[in-house]
A = this chain, B = another copy of it.
Amino acid sequence: MSLTEHKSTVKNQAILAKKAAKTVGLLSTEEKNEALLLIADQLEAEYETILRANEQDLQVGREKGYEAAFMDRLALSKERVYDFAEGLRQVAKLEDPIGHILSSWTLENGLEVQKITVPLGVIGMIYEARPNVTVDATGLALKSGNAIILKGGSSALTSNKSIVEVIHHALNKTKIPANAVQFISSTDREATKELFTLKDYIDVLIPRGGASLINAVVNNATVPVLETGVGNCHLYIDAKADVEKAVNILVNAKTDRPAVCNTVETVIIHEDWFRKNLHILIKLFNKYSIKVHGDTIVVSSIPEAIEAEEDDWANEYLSLEIAVKTVSSVDEAIAHIEKYGTKHSEAIVTEDKETALKFMREVDASSLYHNASTRFTDGGALGFGAEIGISTQKLHARGPMGLQALTTVKHLMSGNGQIR
């Protein structure tokens, strides 16, 4: 397909999505929930079709020699597809975020003002391998009255296409037009770039994936972006940290799911605590097979540690590796986080309330923890019911984003002829 054809295809899809968004945005809660439940049923009914499509992607993945963790995220099973359906049923149960009166007041001249929540319109979702995003993002977009344009990773192309077809089968039985869920099947980079600039039709782009995907979107988009997910998260173990809490939190934040964004990538340790508890740390790193990159003190104290380079402080490992830095004060810890953090999640372990307060006040991040694991930065864990991503920017939404992040507001003014 030529460049021009790609462009017009993507643009046409965006135009169709915008038109469909108008319909979706005016539907009742019941109508939207009914559609979600029908999609759930349809996914279960057609799970075999989806698995056959997925097998094609897996076959390509095996031929290309993708690594195990990647293949695991890509692979579907009857159980996983049923989980997708269950996820949609959960979203159907959540409160409708549309039509809430956030505030209302009356001016002295009698003009009545209401600020209410409305859908954003069209959401552009750009993501990597995981096919579950196709279902999750669709469910959240429709529940919040939006249309969605899906651009998934090429390695899951056949799976995603099949899932969207099933979603369309279900939507054909509902009041939601099938056009409200658009899937971009072109793997051409130009097609993606076109998506970034369709400001007249797309209201927000949400990239979910690694740093390079997110940077590509931020650097090329004229459509507003909700950045998600890059978490170079730190755990600071203060001089006055309780040993048991520190160890439990370190193990959990590093090893529970090393490949996710709220995992800890650097542990900063006060040198007093470090000296006192060195034997515990060595045992811990051994037990969990955690590879240590450290500063001079760390390298000279932990037998298998290797010297950390700039990259170790600056980037996520997303694996069982960790950077370890010793400091002589909480201020030094805060300065390090300021330099290398991605404003995602940062934690302090200490029994000193003043120090904790200082850390929570001064560190600039979406989520700050005192004596708890950074792993709680998650829509599900924090009780949001669902999550479209974790915003690492400051505008619109910051931290885990639930349905509310997919809404905007309208001001409705009712008068009887008021003029200024």
Contact = CB atoms under 8 A, between A and B. Distances in A.
A59 interface: no
Contacts of A366: 409-411
| Number of identical monomers bound together in the oligomeric complex | 2
A144 interface: no
A324 B362 CA distance: 55
Given A107-B383, A364-B121, A383-B107, A420 B369 contact: no
A373 B419 contact: yes
A242 B415 CA distance: 13
A280 B373 CA distance: 70
A367 interface: yes
B376 A248 contact: no
A202 to B, nearest CB: 11
A245 B413 contact: no
A252 interface: yes
Given A370-B413, A370-B415, A417-B245, A393 B121 contact: no
A304 interface: no
Given A219-B222, A383-B105, A417-B244, A395 B408 contact: yes
Nearest to A399: B411
Interface string A377-388: 100011100000
Contact of A395 (B373, B396, B399, B418): B396
B367 A417 contact: no
A413 B222 contact: no
B371 A26 contact: no
Interface string A90-126: 0000000000000001010001010000101100000
Interface string A227-258: 00000000000000010110011011100100
B248 A417 contact: yes
Contacts of A295: none
A227 to B, nearest CB: 9
Contact of A413 (B121, B368, B409): B368
Interface of A: 22, 26, 105, 107, 111, 113, 118, 120-121, 199, 203-204, 218-219, 222, 224-226, 242, 244-245, 248-249, 251-253, 256, 356, 360-362, 364-373, 375-377, 381-383, 393-396, 398-399, 408-420
24 contacts: A26-B362, A107-B382, A107-B383, A113-B382, A120-B394, A120-B395, A204-B395, A224-B394, A244-B417, A248-B419, A249-B419, A251-B419, A252-B419, A356-B414, A360-B412, A367-B410, A368-B411, A370-B414, A371-B417, A372-B413, A373-B419, A375-B419, A375-B420, A395-B408
